[in-house]
């Protein structure tokens, strides 16, 4: 497992690092980034909330877009890769472990503890407006758990078996 040295502001001289630094493994680093107060996470020109661990997250009763994320060191400035974008009228009902794509999220994440959610609140939005933004994000990021209808792909794939 990779180890990181991060600035803490505390005394870490016992570890030979000097004041203000400590060792942290990748999982602890991701947990720290997910719970530290940041200014959110941006996808295209939309600002989403800070990533929160999912499952266990309880969404508000309002509408908007959501991103299901997994930790990924290759993504910056925040190490979270979107695996699914969705839209909903009510986060508290839609973004849950009963979601029809939840099994594919788990497969991609490799474990429930590696799933995170970030939301973009749109309380006065219409479903058409949310779907347009959702489609734009899916087309741009091509998250692995979103199905995108591509007639050319279906043609190249051949008839169903």
Domain positions in the chain? 1-36, 38-157
9: left (phi over 0), alpha (psi -120 to 50) or beta: left
* Residue-level pLDDT at 26: 56
* Residue-level pLDDT at 2: 43
Rounded CA gap, 43 and 52, in Å? 16
- Per-residue tokens: 82: 């979107």
**pTM here?**
0.70
* Residue-level pLDDT at 148: 72
Rounded CA gap, 19 and 11, in Å? 4
Classified by CATH at the fold level, domain 38-157 comes out as GIY-YIG endonuclease (3.40.1440)
Residue ranges in the chain whose pLDDT is less than 70: 1-38, 149-161
Give the angle subtended at the CA of 80 by the CAs of 89 and 138, to the nearest 5°.
50
* Residue-level pLDDT at 147: 82
**What secondary structure, in 3-state letters, does 9-62 show?**
EEECHHHCCCEEEEEEEHHHHHHHHHHCCCCCEEECCEEECCCEECCCCCCCCC
Please choose, from the candidates 138, 126, 141, 114, the residue with its C-alpha nearest in 3D space to the C-alpha of residue 55: 114
Please choose, from the candidates 83, 8, 6, the residue with its C-alpha nearest in 3D space to the C-alpha of residue 43: 83
* Residue-level pLDDT at 111: 94
Cβ atoms of 99 and 83 closer than 8 Å:
no
Measured over the CA atoms of residue 129, residue 52, residue 7 and residue 110, the dihedral's sign is negative
Q: Is 17 helix (H, G, I), strand (E, B) or coil?
A: coil
* Residue-level pLDDT at 76: 85
* Residue-level pLDDT at 39: 78
* Residue-level pLDDT at 157: 47
Rounded CA gap, 62 and 90, in Å? 5
């Amino acid at each position: 497992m990779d180890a990181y040295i991060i600035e803490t502001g505390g005394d870490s001289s016992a570890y030979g690092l000097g004041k203000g630094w400590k060792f942290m493994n990748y999982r602890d680093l991701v947990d720290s980034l997910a719970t530290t107060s940041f200014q959110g996470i941006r996808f295209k020109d939309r600002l989403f909330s800070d990533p929160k661990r999912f499952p266990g997250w309880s969404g508000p009763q309002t509408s908007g877009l959501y991103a299901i994320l997994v930790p990924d060191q290759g993504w910056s400035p925040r190490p979270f890769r979107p695996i699914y974008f969705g839209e909903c009228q009510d986060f508290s009902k839609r973004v849950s472990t009963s979601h029809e794509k939840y099994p594919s999220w788990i497969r991609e994440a490799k474990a429930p503890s590696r799933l995170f959610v970030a939301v973009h609140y749109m309380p006065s939005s219409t479903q058409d407006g949310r779907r347009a933004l959702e489609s734009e994000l899916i087309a741009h990021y091509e998250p692995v758990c979103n199905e995108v209808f591509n007639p050319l792909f279906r043609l190249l794939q051949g008839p169903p078996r």
